[in-house]
């Protein structure tokens, strides 16, 4: 059994819109008998009619963000909660993703020695951790070095036997935040990447199977809103995926056409 999970919180609509569409692209690719889609949210009433398992984290976000009040730390916490409650492997997806390939085949490659992240970014990332060193509770002496690596965490796939890696990533994340990494928004993905590296776990890239559009999200939001207005359907009910090309989106963004999606819908 594979558990595909999302994390949603806050009062804004955009991430919920994106996640609903992402779930629709995922549902076209998976077998409901061999997989679960689980949404962890602090507002369960917003997803009660979605075709998912809802896990409420209302009242838990402050603890999940930790002492540094780092929102992305909650991503690691919900992966851990999923391992604790549900049997099977975990594939976490950011809301701004769409599944466009054989995700079942990709997830089937998870093992105690193999994990999944979205895409390799760099070695020795410049995130303000030069000289960082910490002694981890497991007895591991960790030091930031030229061998340190970072993968994008828009997708994180882990075998159920890798629960300890998540705890290691959380410990690293907290130590890095306390040290004062300057690019705090990348700390969680760097800590996961490093936890996998020092645990000697091979990382498979999900790009090509899962699109993580990130900076192109205005374009996707506009197209999803347009599809809702045109069809009257929920985002997970669309028959056709939004046409997506990085080159096309680059030029649209360059000329500012999709700079403000709200205005586009008026």
The predicted structure's pLDDT at residue 222: 85
Kindly report, residue by residue over 212-256, the tens digit of the pLDDT: 987 678 888 888 999 999 999 999 999 888 887 767 667 766 766
- Bridge pairing between strands 89-93 and 149-158: antiparallel
Distance CA 206, CA 75 (A): 18
Tell me the average pLDDT across 153-160.
97
Sequence-ordered alpha helix ranges (H) in the chain: 14-27, 61-65, 73-85, 103-107, 163-179, 187-198, 217-231, 246-254, 261-264
Kindly report, residue by residue over 113-145, the tens digit of the pLDDT: 999 999 999 999 877 888 899 999 878 999 999
Tell me the average pLDDT across 191-207.
97
Question: What residues contact 116, with CB distance under 8 A and at least 6 apart?
Answer: 91, 106, 107, 109, 110, 155, 156, 157, 158, 203, 204, 205, 206
> Structure pTM?
0.92
Kindly report, residue by residue over 75-89, the tens digit of the pLDDT: 999 999 999 999 999
| Inter-residue contact 39 to 53 (CB < 8 Å) | yes
Q: What are phi and psi of 52, to 5 degrees?
A: -140, 170
The predicted structure's pLDDT at residue 264: 42
Burial of 49 per CB tally in 10 Å (0-12, 13-18, 19+): exposed
Only one residue has tokens 């949210």, namely 41
Question: What residues contact 226, with CB distance under 8 A and at least 6 apart?
Answer: 265
Task: Supply the mean pLDDT for the chain.
Answer: 90
Q: Would the pLDDT of 35 be above 60?
A: yes
Only one residue has tokens 């409650």, namely 85
Which one is predicted more confidently, 70 or 246?
A: 70
* Structural domains of the chain ordered from first start: 2-212 (3.90.550.10), 215-264 (no CATH)
The predicted structure's pLDDT at residue 120: 97
Tell me the average pLDDT across 87-95.
97
Distance, first Cα to last Cα, the chain: 44
The predicted structure's pLDDT at residue 82: 98
The predicted structure's pLDDT at residue 65: 95
The predicted structure's pLDDT at residue 213: 81
The predicted structure's pLDDT at residue 266: 34
Tell me the average pLDDT across 162-185.
88
Burial of 259 per CB tally in 10 Å (0-12, 13-18, 19+): exposed
């Amino acid at each position: 059994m594979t558990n595909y999970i999302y994390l949603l919180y806050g009062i804004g609509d955009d991430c919920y819109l994106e996640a609903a569409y992402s779930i629709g692209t995922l549902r076209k690719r998976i077998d409901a008998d061999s997989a679960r889609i689980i949404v962890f949210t602090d507002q369960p009433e917003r997803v009660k009619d979605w075709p998912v398992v809802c896990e409420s984290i209302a009242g838990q976000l402050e603890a999940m963000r930790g002492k540094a009040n780092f929102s992305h730390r909650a991503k690691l916490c919900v992966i851990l909660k999923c391992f604790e409650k549900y049997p099977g492997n975990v594939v976490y997806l950011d809301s701004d993703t769409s599944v466009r390939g054989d995700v079942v085949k990709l997830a089937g490659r998870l093992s105690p020695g193999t994990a999944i992240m979205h895409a390799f970014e760099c070695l020795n990332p410049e995130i303000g951790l030069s000289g960082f060193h910490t002694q981890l509770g497991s007895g591991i002496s960790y030091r930031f070095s030229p061998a340190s690596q970072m993968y994008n965490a828009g997708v994180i796939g882990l075998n159920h036997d890798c629960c300890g890696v998540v705890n290691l990533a959380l410990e690293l994340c907290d130590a890095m935040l306390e040290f004062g990494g300057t690019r705090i928004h990348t700390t969680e993905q760097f800590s996961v990447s490093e936890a996998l590296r020092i645990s000697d776990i091979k990382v498979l890239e999900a790009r090509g199977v899962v699109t993580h559009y990130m900076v192109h999200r205005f374009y996707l939001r506009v197209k999803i809103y347009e599809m809702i207005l045109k069809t009257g359907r929920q985002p997970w009910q669309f028959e056709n995926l939004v046409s997506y090309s990085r080159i096309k989106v680059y030029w649209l963004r360059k000329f500012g056409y999709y700079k403000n999606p709200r205005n586009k819908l008026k």
